Amino acid sequence: MQNLVSLMLKGGIVFVALVFLASNAVAQAAAGAGNAEKAQKLAAIAKQLQLTPQQEQQLMPILKADAPKIEAIKNNPSLGPLQKMEQIKAIHAQSDPQIKAILNPQQYQQLQEIRQQEIHAAMERKMGQQ
């Protein structure tokens, strides 16, 4: 009887471990898909701005560092649309001095337009969900 209980406990532990590993794998796959989407988005921005290889090498780490901060703001349900927009603009303002030093004035203006389009598109998507 004691062997049966021991075997059932071990089986339960193995089952719980497998469920945990499976859910972790699904979460990582979802995060990977999100990362692939973000990488495509950054590549599209680089193409739109017609960055030189040197500019791309300098700019991409800045944009990649800003991306999780912006995503956290977008996904924060306690913030209203205006608060989200203000906080995203604050993040952009923090990285702007570095970005201005990398891009020429035309590229910088184009980046600002891309950012504005994304903010407006996000707001429209949010309004469409309500």
The pLDDT confidence band at residue 119, using thresholds 50, 70 and 90, is: confident
The pLDDT value given to residue 25: 36
Q: Which residue has the higher pLDDT, 13 or 21?
A: 13
Q: How many residues does the chain have?
A: 130
Side-chain-side CA neighbours of residue 1 (13 Å): 0
Tell me the mean pLDDT in the region 101-112: 96
Residue type, 106: Q
The pLDDT value given to residue 120: 81
Tell me the mean pLDDT in the region 109-122: 88
Structure-block tokens of residue 105: 């004035």
**Residue-wise pLDDT tens digits, 18-57:** 333 333 333 333 344 467 887 888 889 889 999 999 999 9
Q: Considering only CA atoms, which of 67, 94, 81 is closest in space to residue 121?
A: 81
The pLDDT value given to residue 42: 84
- pLDDT reading at 122 higher than 50: yes
The pLDDT value given to residue 34: 65
The pLDDT value given to residue 127: 75
Are residues 68 and 61 in contact, defined by beta-carbon separation less than 8 angstroms? no
The answer to pTM > 0.75 is: no
